[in-house]
Structure 1
Amino acid sequence: MSSKVGDIGPKRKSKVLLAEFQKHRAAANRGFHITFINTEFNHRRFLKSQGPNSLDGLPDFRFETIPDGLPDSDEGATQDVTLLAEAIVQDVFLAPFRNLLIKLKDAETSNNNPPVTCIVSDGFMSPFAIKAAEEFGLPIALFFTIAACSFMGFKQFRALVEKGLAPLKDESCLTNGFLDEVIDWIPGMEGIRLRNLPSFFRTTNPDDVFLNFSMVATDEVHKAAALVLLTFDTLEKEVLSALSSMPNIPPVYTIGPIELLLNQIPKDPLKNSVGYSLWKEETECLEWLNSKAPNSVVYVNFGSITVMTPNQLVEFGWGLANSKLPFFWVIRPDLVVGESAILPPEFVSPFSPARWVSPYMTPRGCRCGSPCVTHKMGSHVRGSVETNCVPHRRIGMEIDNDVKRDEVEKLIKEFMEGEKGKKMKNKAMEWKKLAEEATGPHGSSSTGFDNLVNQVLLRKS
């Protein structure tokens, strides 16, 4: 049986491309014909980084693009995520996505292509993806490439507004202990602090783009046929149970860590046949990394869209250098806003291969048994990493937004050599073992993926 599984994602971070493509690659192994949809901008970036012929020779994959309606920007840097969020909320993507679905359906008869039978969308694209699915009578699965606790945090933003906790009354709430307030009304996350929720609510502006984007993106998930999360059952048992019992949440499917799940597929003809990074990858660093003892190198990576000030970069740099520990720091060309930071030449590195990407404290971290230090960026690009710092995982430390080199040095030393760091490493290895069990032949994630395919993607519309 053939089917169409489409990803609709203009804000392509490399890790999201990885998760989406690997999930679709696993689906292709089940007999699906997949149309992978990206924006024209990111598709060009992808071909630029991977090569103009990188998508050739994939018989079960078709790659299509839609415009994002944004002004032209440098293809060597990430797009303005504020403009992207506004475009999603304003349904800029709905018309081009609808037109593409019409084109695909027309091709069913004219070119004898497989029929369009379902949609798999990046969860944060739900404002327009759900509307399109309803118009065409297609089941839709929303794939949020985040942990369950992160999704639950985003889902509670409406409640934060109703309870007067968001937006913040003034900037003093960031430093006066307000964020340390314990909230006990979020199902499955009792005892969590405000500061552990996704930080998009930390604004004093009721019209803040990301606050409203977060609410709009999760408001109508109940209309989907499935909610797919990048986690596994034993990692987030309580919050997954809470989500499954909520009336405004569709059936929940956990399929993480997806890299381990993909390893269960025998003789995958597509494996390693195509990359997934929007940045050109350099391999010169591998020789140096391979010369170091296992678990001895501090790996520093701020992801694909986070930006920082020159002062933050300098403080991080000297904190790392003063620790006297070997470290490898990935600095993107667009990492620093404003004036360039002045750092010694040895601080600068090309973008590294994705296999060295530090996985934060999500199920990706559990995949390789990696604890981590996280930093809450103060820019408009704020993520959901904080939500992953829930106490029961005990595999991470935090660095405050007001970065000081002494604090960075202290945390790095404790992380790599201290007693607390050793305990976190041991705990991370426990989670790694559980992640491997979840993605084993009879594990919860393997079962979750099977159920997603059989109960949703193959379902008659």
Structure 2
Amino acid sequence: MGNPHFLTIPFPILGHMNPLMQFSQVLAKHGCKITFLTSDENYNKMKTTSINDGEGKLMEPHINLVSLPDGVNPQDDRKDLAKVILSTRITMSPMLPKLIEDINNLDSDNKISCIIVTKNMGWALEVAHQLGIKGALFWPASATSLVSFNSMERLVEEGIVDPQSGIPRKQEIQLSLNLPMMEAAAMPWYSLSNAFFFLHMMKEMQNVNLGEWWLCNTSMDLEAEAISLSPKFLPIGPLIGNEDNNIGSLWQEDETCLEWLDQHKPKSVIYVSFGSLISIGPNQFKELAIGLDLLKRPFLWVVRKDMAHMNNVLENEYLDELFKGNKGKIVSWSPQKKILCHPSIACFITHCGWNSTIESVCSGVPLLCWPFFSDQLMNKTYICDVWKVGLGFEKDENGLITKEEIKKKVDELLEDEEIKERSLKFMEMVVKNKSEGDKNLNKFINWAKE
């Protein structure tokens, strides 16, 4: 039998598309054929970034881009994840069997042998199951967060979690004996404070369990206890080493910041980025800007174009002072992996998304944790309490992280030699795990071939 043909289907947001595209590239380098399915809207965006020839062919010979409508109207808010989840399922799922048939007819010698999905696309595993095609889950977050979702039913049965809202009845939850005790609020479904997500994930987990493998960008040294809880877990991380391109990115990266970083001393620059979804209010934004000014250190700050109200705040005369004398640089999107590997980076103020967490750990960069929702609070628990490679910010009585707190914690982190040492130790350890991840990857490809 020839090399497998994978149909990869990410939920159409950046935090799922980027890691699944990166994984698709890894599979392509092993000679596998990939058909990458995304929404029409994202397909059109991907055609405008520097990644393909405009014909839906990526600059990667084994990867083919295809799209289906996701049913989200142009006037709808794509940040409303509940709307996108429902619309994607209702619109795409009846169209998927026909798309698979069309793809198979184009190359009858190399039909789709396995469908890989990310979270919220579990319905596609149901379709795969009905068509007799193998299925696997690519989980774009930590193994521990997947364990937490997989424990929801048991937590409901044990009376620890309300069956309708998903709100825990205890202050703290321990998902398993060997996992850390965590605040109930750190459960990834809790912080979304919306019964829709809880009930959606209960159903999603039934579909996810149809997948034979749960592929995670993690490693035994990071999450051995969580990984040991299900035979489906296959740690294939760390997925590093594809830094040369931004295939799959929907936004143009601003590479000028790398030249700017070159002008700074080793371990001198504070890097600030909250990923692709998070927006902070004008008051918090201003506190952060003033806090960065108080530090009297160079900083590189990602302020996305869709945070337009922030750009108004930035025009404030006071904030103009921030950028005098080459002290600060703002970009609308950054080549993050290259930045974190840059010798001038001292630390990373982050929302603690899993991709950012793994990239920092693999670069030995200490973290300042500013989580907002979903799995980010759980990742913060690991960063600060389990791995001890970072510190968290405390909010004031108004729920703000003040400029004083920002200055205090950055100074504290940069003076903490133990955290810096541990960050470097972790980097060595996790990069060594790569060979184990590669072994698991080969196991997965061979299984798909059978």
What is the TM-score with the length of structure 2 in the denominator? 0.83
Maintained 8 Å contact 1:49/1:281: no
Cα deviation, residue 316, structure 1? 1.4
Count of aligned pairs: 416
> 2:48 is matched with which residue?
48
Q: Tell me how large the CA RMSD over aligned residues is.
A: 3.0
- Indicate whether 1:402 and 2:385 are aligned: no
C-alpha offsets along residues 272-317 of structure 1, whole Å, 9 cap, x if unaligned? 4663321112222222111112222110001011122111211111
What is the distance in 2 between the residues matched to 1:324 and 1:60? 48
C-alpha offsets along residues 197-249 of structure 1, whole Å, 9 cap, x if unaligned? 32x313665xx3333333333233221111101100111111111233xxxxx
Cα deviation, residue 10, structure 1? 3.6
What is the distance in 2 between the residues matched to 1:453 and 1:61? 16
Cα deviation, residue 372, structure 1? 1.0
Alignment of 1:116-127 (within 5 A): 116-126=112-122
1:350 to 325, 328, 332: 332
> 2:93 is matched with which residue?
94
> 2:344 is matched with which residue?
none
What is the distance in 2 between the residues matched to 1:285 and 1:167? 48
Maintained 8 Å contact 2:85/2:120: no
Report the residue type matching 1:98 in the other structure: P
> 1:24 is matched with which residue?
24
Maintained 8 Å contact 1:34/1:60: yes
| Higher RCO (CA-CA < 8 Å; seq separation 6+) | 1
> 2:227 is matched with which residue?
240
> 1:333 is matched with which residue?
305
Maintained 8 Å contact 1:85/1:209: no
- Indicate whether 1:3 and 2:4 are aligned: yes
Cα deviation, residue 185, structure 1? 4.5
Give secondary structure in 2 for the equivalent of 1:243. coil
User: CA separation of 1:195/1:73 partners in 2, compared to 1, >3 Å: closer, same or farther?
Assistant: same
Instruction: Give the percent of matched residue pairs that are identical in Structure 1 and Structure 2.
Output: 21
Maintained 8 Å contact 1:229/1:252: yes
Cα deviation, residue 159, structure 1? 4.2
> 1:65 is matched with which residue?
67
What is the distance in 2 between the residues matched to 1:374 and 1:51? 32
Maintained 8 Å contact 2:7/2:112: no
What is the distance in 2 between the residues matched to 1:6 and 1:296? 43
User: CA separation of 1:193/1:107 partners in 2, compared to 1, >3 Å: closer, same or farther?
Assistant: same
What is the TM-score with the length of structure 1 in the denominator? 0.81
Report the residue type matching 2:444 in the other structure: L
Alignment of 1:64-83 (within 5 A): 64-72=66-74, 79-83=79-83
2:386 to 381, 392, 408: 392
1:210 to 189, 197, 202: 197
Cα deviation, residue 367, structure 1? 1.1
Alignment of 1:355-374 (within 5 A): 355-356=338-339, 360=352, 362-374=357-369
Report the residue type matching 1:425 in the other structure: K
Give secondary structure in 1 for the equivalent of 2:368. strand
> 2:106 is matched with which residue?
107
What is the distance in 2 between the residues matched to 1:185 and 1:9? 27
Alignment of 1:191-202 (within 5 A): 191-198=181-188, 200-202=189-191
Maintained 8 Å contact 1:141/1:228: yes
Maintained 8 Å contact 1:311/1:341: no
> Where does structure 2 lack aligned partners over 5 or more consecutive residues?
324-328, 341-347
User: CA separation of 1:197/1:295 partners in 2, compared to 1, >3 Å: closer, same or farther?
Assistant: farther
> 2:413 is matched with which residue?
415
What is the distance in 2 between the residues matched to 1:409 and 1:226? 44
User: CA separation of 1:295/1:99 partners in 2, compared to 1, >3 Å: closer, same or farther?
Assistant: farther
- Indicate whether 1:449 and 2:416 are aligned: no
User: CA separation of 1:63/1:216 partners in 2, compared to 1, >3 Å: closer, same or farther?
Assistant: same
Cα deviation, residue 438, structure 1? 0.9
User: CA separation of 1:211/1:397 partners in 2, compared to 1, >3 Å: closer, same or farther?
Assistant: farther
What is the distance in 1 between the residues matched to 2:17 and 2:438? 21
